[in-house]
């Protein structure tokens, strides 16, 4: 494959287009054949992404606009434009937007996509079919959560729909 570099987004334009109260992924890397995933995520003023943990991937977070904080291990770290943070896999963290909101870029190694495989018949004594995992797939970006009862997507910050009896 002989790929050609190209402009995918102009951040000033993207940031200027954010509607009041808009939350979630404003942009994501969607090029075929890529080895990275990247998202620009916006949190409105005084909102948050609940505590979560990414078990598989390290994530690079770059603050583009606004301010806020990152809570991890009982510490609060300030987030202001141009802050670059490494979020190592297995670290627990929560994000909070300040009074002007918070917009940030995340970059990490590409996660393999979900695939649908043909059903394999197993004898009844082997335990039957695996449970459905659709309730663990983020409705915004399609990421499969490692948490059994996710509240927020660790990739894009979108809230998972509440499930009866889960919270």
Lowest mean pLDDT among 49-63, 89-103, 111-125: 111-125
Q: What is the pLDDT of residue 129?
A: 44
Position 128 scores a pLDDT of 43
Q: Which string of b and e fits 22-59 if b means at least 16 CB within 10 Å?
A: ebbbbbbeeeeeeeebbbbbbbbeebbbeebebeebeb
Average pLDDT over residues 92-101: 95
Cα 162 from Cα 165, distance rounded (Å): 9
Residue 59 has pLDDT above 80, yes or no: yes
Break the chain into its structural domains and give their ranges. Answer: 19-111
Predicted pLDDT at 69: 97
> Which residues contact residue 59 at a Cβ distance below 8 angstroms, ignoring those fewer than 6 apart?
86, 87, 106, 107, 108, 154
Question: In the predicted model, what is the mean pLDDT of residues 56-68?
Answer: 95
Q: In this predicted structure, what is the pLDDT of residue 166? A: 41
Cα–Cα distances in Å, from 166 out to 94, 135, 163? 20, 11, 5
Task: Give me the chain's average pLDDT, please.
Answer: 83
Arch. (CATH architecture) of 19-111: Sandwich (2.60)
In DSSP notation, 39-80 reads EEEEE-TT-EEEEEE-SS--EEEEEEEEEEEEEETTEEEEE-
In this predicted structure, the answer to whether residue 159 has a pLDDT above a threshold of 90 is no
Cα angle 135, 104, 93 (rounded to 5 degrees) comes to 55
């Amino acid at each position: 494959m002989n790929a050609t570099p190209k402009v995918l987004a102009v951040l000033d334009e993207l940031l200027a287009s954010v509607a009041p109260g808009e939350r979630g992924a404003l942009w994501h890397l969607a090029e075929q054949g890529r080895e990275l995933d990247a998202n620009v995520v916006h949190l409105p003023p005084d909102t948050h992404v609940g505590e979560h943990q990414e078990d598989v991937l390290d994530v690079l977070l770059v603050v583009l606009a606004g301010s806020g904080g990152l809570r991890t291990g009982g510490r609060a770290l300030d987030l202001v434009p141009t802050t670059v943070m490494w979020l190592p896999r297995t670290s627990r963290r929560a994000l909070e937007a300040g009074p002007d909101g918070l917009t940030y870029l995340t970059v990490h190694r590409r996660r393999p996509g979900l695939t649908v495989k043909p059903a394999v018949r197993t004898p009844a004594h082997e335990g039957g079919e695996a449970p459905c995992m659709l309730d663990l797939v983020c409705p915004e970006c399609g990421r499969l959560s490692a948490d059994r009862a996710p509240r927020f997507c660790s990739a894009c910050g979108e809230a998972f729909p509440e499930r009866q009896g889960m919270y």
